[in-house]
Structure formats: C-alpha cells, structure tokens
C-alpha cells in the first residue's frame, strides 16, 4: 500500500473538518468518514486522491453527503 502517510494525514485533516462543520465529536466524524465512499477513493492509489489537498477530499465528502440527502 503506497502513499500510506499521505493518506493518513489527509484522512486526519478531513476528519477534523467534518467534526467542525457538522459539529460532531472526533469519533462521530471518524465514523462518518470511514463509512463513506470518499474514504474508499482515498484508499485506492489509482485515483491519485492522496496527492490532493484535504480541502479537496473534504469537498468530495460533502458532495457525497449532499447526494445521499436527495
């Protein structure tokens, strides 16, 4: 599994963003992120998502959450 450190750093920052925006405790934000399709994309080296900013990954997460509301 290449790029593990980058993925871990991005995931940590995205979880912080989720916690702040959705007023969730860290463990709740972790649950939301780790149950999302976005984390699966981040885990797949083929997507190259590990080279994007945490804000970009967070925006993908938000798009996913908004699409599930509709």
CA–CA distance, 63 with 5 (Å, rounded to integer): 25
The per-residue pLDDT for 39 is: 97
pTM for the whole thing?
0.92
Residue 26, domain extent? 4-69
**DSSP labels, 27-69:** HHHHHHHHTSHHHHHHH-GGG-GGGS-HHHHHHHHHHHHHHHH
Domain count, the chain: 1
Q: What is the pLDDT of residues 5-55, one digit of tens each?
A: 999 999 999 999 999 999 999 999 999 999 999 999 999 999 999 999 999
The per-residue pLDDT for 3 is: 86
Does the pLDDT value for residue 70 go beyond 90?
Answer: no
């Amino acid at each position: 599994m290449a790029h593990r450190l980058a993925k871990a750093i991005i995931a940590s920052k995205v979880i912080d963003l989720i916690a702040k925006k959705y007023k969730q405790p860290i463990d709740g934000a972790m649950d939301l992120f780790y149950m999302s399709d976005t984390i699966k994309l981040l885990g797949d080296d083929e997507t190259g998502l590990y080279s994007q900013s945490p804000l970009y990954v967070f925006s993908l997460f938000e798009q996913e959450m908004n699409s599930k509301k509709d």
